[in-house]
Amino acid sequence: MNTITSIDKTPKALRLSGYGIGDFGLNIYWQTVSMFLVYWYTAIAGIDPKIAGLIYFIGMTWDAISDPIVASFSERIQTRFGTYRPFLLYGSFITACAFVLLFWVPPFEGGLKIAILIATCLLFRTSYTVVAIPYAALGSRITYDSKERADYSGARMFFAFSALLLVSMFLWPLVEHFTDKLGEPRAFQLTAAMGGAIATIALWTCFAFTKEKPLPSKTIQSERIWQGIYRNISSNHALRVLLFIILLQTAASSALGITLIFYIEANAHMFAAKEVLFTSFAFGMLFCVPIWSYLIRRFGRKKIWLLAVTLHVIVALHMFFAPPIIIFGVPLSIVLFMAIGGSLAIIFWAFIPDCVEYGQVQSGYRSEAGVYGSVLIMQKLSGGLIGLMIGFILSSIGISSNIEMSPELGEKLSNFIAICPALLLLLTIIPIMILPMGRDTHGEIIEQLE
């Protein structure tokens, strides 16, 4: 029987959960770093927002360099556990240790302190990459069916937002609980250690409950990572369009995520406690994942992308022109932004593995490292540049490590959150419409590969 179409008798719910729980572990790290790291550098480590944004940018730029290298290396590993799964088994504990070190405040000042913060940031991002990149690429080996890939992407997002819910519910209460005994810096470290332990268990569970399918017969893989990236970008029109979409979508998501904690601090006088807010945001995303997954499967990825962007823009216009709607201390606009953003994440992660086969047909070579490497370069550079820009914006409007937040600062941050992500997402409409990939197209490609 053909290795592509052979039937896996494992119950589908177990297969989806087994793969998705890996993203639960990874997103304990990702959500914490994306939402809180710039704030932690500023409020806890006591450095200027511009420097905090610069460290964030350096870390993301390093990711853009190391991600494709790890992708190329992992693609060629052959073990009894498979190609990508061993990285989940052996790299998870190291990542947890680096995560704890990331929240260490060095007992120094000036340039030495900043240098150590940069070093711990790079150490964590490298160890995270060694696990996260093989996990992402694993999605292209679990199934070769386009519809199933949307289901796996939906499962990933469900578990990713479940991790966001966990971080939202427990990070601040745990930090506050441990602060009385240990002080705030050590409290963050102990909380990070607990998160790292949970993430490690989740990634080991993913290793245990996933299987890799063999590559299509007569598959030729590119020999060098940069050759694979160049080959894919030059010959794969679908990938070029998708990279532009990812550039804009990542920038929009990062602009909202990094700024959000400062927006909450500035409006603390009328908002609920942080854990209540972030839990509400996470529930909004988590509740909508099954709905978005059904709609994507029913109506297709492109139509739902357009629907999501339209809804985001409507909410942004209301946030900019009208007073905020606050329900039990929770701003409704942010809940809606989070719920809408979940659909975009599901869609673009479902498109990426399809690009692998699209490029294979176009060039004759299969390069999972080339596709995922180019995607991750674009994603990390986009997020890093936005982080750097936000650091300068925060500094320019008067935010520093020793300044009190105020309603005036809250209004400026509100306008930024309303305008910047909406404009970036509007720019994705044309490229998403011309993206030359759909279910029928991908089905034809798989038939050719068989």
SS3 86: helix
For 11-20, 154-163, 336-345, 356-365, which range has the lowest pLDDT when averaged over its residues?
356-365
For 160-164, 368-372, 376-380, which range has the lowest pLDDT when averaged over its residues?
368-372
Name the nearest CA neighbour of 22 among 194, 144, 162: 162
Q: What is the pLDDT of residues 330-360, one digit of tens each?
A: 999 999 999 998 889 888 878 887 877 777 7
Question: Which residues does 98 contact at the CB level (< 8 Å), separation at least 6?
Answer: 120, 123, 124, 126, 127, 128
Give the range with max mean pLDDT: 159-163, 285-289, 366-370, 426-430: 426-430
CA-CA distance, 202 to 22, in Å (whole number)?
6
Determine the pLDDT at residue 387.
87
Q: H or E stretch including 343?
A: helix 332-363
For 129-133, 143-147, 348-352, 384-388, which range has the lowest pLDDT when averaged over its residues?
143-147
CA-CA distance, 66 to 96, in Å (whole number)?
19
- Write down the mean pLDDT value for the chain: 85
Give the angle subtended at the CA of 277 by the CAs of 174 and 337, to the nearest 5°.
135
Region 272-295: mean pLDDT is: 87
Residue with the bigger pLDDT between 23 and 404: it is 23
**DSSP code for 40:** I
Residue 336: phi and psi, rounded to 5, are: -70, -40
Q: What is the pLDDT of residues 198-232, one digit of tens each?
A: 999 999 999 999 988 876 655 555 556 566 666 66
Residue with the bigger pLDDT between 216 and 237: it is 237
For 150-154, 363-367, 428-432, which range has the lowest pLDDT when averaged over its residues?
363-367
Find residue 82's DSSP bridge partners: 79
At residue 8, does pLDDT exceed 60? no
For 190-199, 225-234, 244-253, 268-277, which range has the lowest pLDDT when averaged over its residues?
225-234
**DSSP code for 331:** E
Amino acid 28 reads I
What is 247-308 written as a DSSP string? HHHHHHHHHHHHHHHHHHHHTTTTS--HHHHHHHHHHHHHHHHHHHHHHHHHH-HHHHHHHH
CA-CA distance, 25 to 48, in Å (whole number)?
31
Question: Which residues does 395 contact at the CB level (< 8 Å), separation at least 6?
Answer: 48, 49, 50
Two tokens, residue 105: 């405040």
Percent of the chain at pLDDT > 70 equals 88
CA-CA distance, 191 to 194, in Å (whole number)?
5
Residue with the bigger pLDDT between 261 and 217: it is 261
At residue 161, does pLDDT exceed 70? yes
Q: H or E stretch including 327?
A: strand 326-327
Q: Is residue 291 within 8 Å of 422, Cβ to Cβ?
A: no
Determine the pLDDT at residue 232.
67
Q: Is residue 34 within 8 Å of 161, Cβ to Cβ?
A: no
Two tokens, residue 384: 């890093």
At residue 173, does pLDDT exceed 80? yes
At residue 312, does pLDDT exceed 90? yes
Region 108-124: mean pLDDT is: 94
- Total Cβ atoms within 10 A of residue 80: 5
Residue with the bigger pLDDT between 235 and 400: it is 235
**DSSP code for 330:** E
Determine the pLDDT at residue 275.
83
At residue 400, does pLDDT exceed 80? no
pLDDT category of residue 5 using cuts at 50, 70 and 90: very low
Q: What is the pLDDT of residues 46-77, one digit of tens each?
A: 888 889 989 989 998 898 888 878 877 887 77
- Topology of domain 15-210+219-449 in CATH is Growth Hormone; Chain: A; (1.20.1250)
pLDDT category of residue 4 using cuts at 50, 70 and 90: very low
- How crowded is the C-beta side of 136, counted as CA atoms within 13 Å? 31
Amino acid 319 reads M
